[in-house]
Amino acid sequence: MYEDSFGLLKNAGFDFFDIYMEDSFTRTIESKNRQIENVNFSTDKGVGIRGVKEFSTLFASTNNTSQESVYKKTKFICDVISPKEGINIVEMPQMSIYSYKGYPTDLDSVKGIIDTVNTIAYKSPYIIQASVTYSDKLKEIAILNEEGNLLREKRTYTLLYIELVARLDNILQTIRKPLSAMGGFEFLEGINFETLTHEMVEKVEQLLKSPHLEPALMSVVLDSSAGGTMIHEAVGHGLEADLVFESMSVYKDKLGTKVANEKITVVDDACVEKARGSFVFDDEGTHGMRKILIKNGVLNDYMFDKMYAKANNRLSNGGARRQSYAYVPIPRMSNTYILPGNDNKEAIIGSIGHGLLVKKMGGGQVNPVTGDFVFEVSEGYLIEKGKVKHMVRGATLIGNGPKILQEIDMVGDDFGTEVGTCGKSSQGVPVTDGEPTLRIPKIMIGG
C-alpha cells in the first residue's frame, strides 16, 4: 500500500505526515413542486498526501490512485528522496462506530416519504412549495501515517431534509427540518412522516399569522429542541486550536480561567454512537475521543490536530477533520454539547416574567475574535408570567458568546440535539450540536 511513497515521506524530515485514501459513493434525490427534479449517483476516489514541518504544510492530492501517480505526487512535496529499507507498515482492521442494515434495496421507500410530505403539505392553502432532499453516502477511508499504521474506517451518512414555504398575502415564511445520522436508511424507519409533516405545516401557518416581536432587552429561554447552534457558532469555533493560536479567538490564553457559569460544562465527543459527527479515527489517524472543553465554567481544553498540538508540546486530542482527500485536515468540532444540569424545564419557563422561548434557531453570524453574534429565531414564543403564550416572528438574538456563557444561570435536566454541516476554510464536515434548556436572564432581542 504505497510503500515507496511512504518511504519518501519517512525520509523527508517532516514532523509528521499521512497518506489519506478515500473511496466514496453518494446518492441524492431532490423533490420540489410535487415532482422529483434530480436523481444523482456519484463516486469519488482519490489520495491526499501531506507532510508537515512546524507550521509549514506541503500537500498534494490526486484522483488517480495508481502507485505511480501517488509516488509522483509524493516526490513533488518531498525534499529528500531516499527510501529506507525494510519499512514496516502495520495494517489495522477496518473500524466502524455504528452497526447498520445498509441502504434500501431500491428507492421506493424514499419516494414513499416524499409522497407523504407532498400529500399532506399541499392540502394547506398556505403552502406554496414543499421540498424534500434525501442523500446517503458510503465513505471508506484509509490513513497511512508516520508511525507506519494503516488505519481503515467505514463511514455511512444518511440525510433527509424537508423544507416548507408558506405565504399569506405578502408574508412569506419558511420552516425546515433536517434529519441525519451516521448509519443507514433504517434510522428513518422509526419516524412518522405523516405526523411530522402535519406539525411542520401547523407551525409555518402559525408563523404567518404571528405578530412581530418588538426589539427589547429581555429574558430568553433556549429550549433543548433548539439544538446547540449557539454553543457551536458562538463558542465552539473559538475553541479550535488553529483559531486560538492564530489570535483569532476570544479564548486565547484563557486555559484554567473561568469563562462560564459554574453550571456550564461543554464537551466535544466524537465517540457518540450513530451521531452525525462521530468517527473512530480523526482524519490524521488519531483515535476520536471525548474532550471536556469547559468544565464547571472553567476553560479546560481546546480541540487540537497534530500540528497545533506539537507546537504546544502536547498530543493531538483527535480534533483533525477534512472534507475529503482533496483537503488538508484542520481542527474541527464533531458532536459538541452543553451537558444537562439539574434545573427542571418547567421551572425555568415558570421563572420568566416577560421573555422569549426559543424552540428553533435559524442562521446567523459570529465574530470568533470577539464572540459577538446575531442569530435568527425561526420558532419563538412569548412568555408572560411564567406561561408560554403565542408564537412570534422576526426575532433575532444579539449578544456575545463568552458573556452569555457567564450569564446563563439555569441549566435544564433535559437534552436535545440538532444536526448540520459545519463550514470552515471552504470545507464542510458533518456535525451534531446539543444542549439542555437554558435560561439567559437578559439578552438583546432584535425585531
Cβ-Cβ contacts under 8 Å for 346 (sequence gap 6 or more): none
**Which three cell numbers, joined as nine digits, stand for 184?**
443507514
Residues 329, 22: Cα–Cα separation, whole Å: 14
Residues 218, 442: Cα–Cα separation, whole Å: 5
Q: What is the pLDDT of residue 91?
A: 63
The pLDDT mean for the chain works out to 92
Element (H, E) at 315: none
Helices (H) and strands (E) in the chain, counts: 9, 22
**Which three cell numbers, joined as nine digits, stand for 178?**
433536517
**pTM for the structure as a whole:** 0.91
With a cut of 80, say whether residue 86 has pLDDT above it. Answer: no
Model pLDDT for residues 300-317, shown as the tens digit of each residue: 999 999 999 999 999 999
What sections of 271-376 are H helices per DSSP?
306-311, 345-350
Q: What is the pLDDT of residue 90?
A: 63
If pLDDT is split at 50, 70 and 90, which confidence band does 82 have? very low
Q: What is the pLDDT of residue 217?
A: 96
Residues 161, 418: Cα–Cα separation, whole Å: 12
Q: Residue 190 carries which side chain, given as an amino acid letter?
A: G
Distance, first Cα to last Cα, the chain: 59
Domains of the chain in start order, with CATH, are 3-209 (3.30.2290.10), 216-446 (no CATH)
Model pLDDT for residues 337-379, shown as the tens digit of each residue: 999 999 999 999 999 999 999 999 988 888 888 889 999 999 9
Burial (CB < 10 A; 0-12, 13-18, 19+), residue 123, is exposed
Across-strand partners of 364?
Answer: 375
Beta strands, E only, 183-262? 216-222
- Find the largest Cα–Cα distance for the chain: 77
Q: What is the pLDDT of residue 216?
A: 93
What sections of 312-400 are H helices per DSSP?
345-350
Q: What is the pLDDT of residue 93?
A: 65
Residues 444, 338: Cα–Cα separation, whole Å: 22
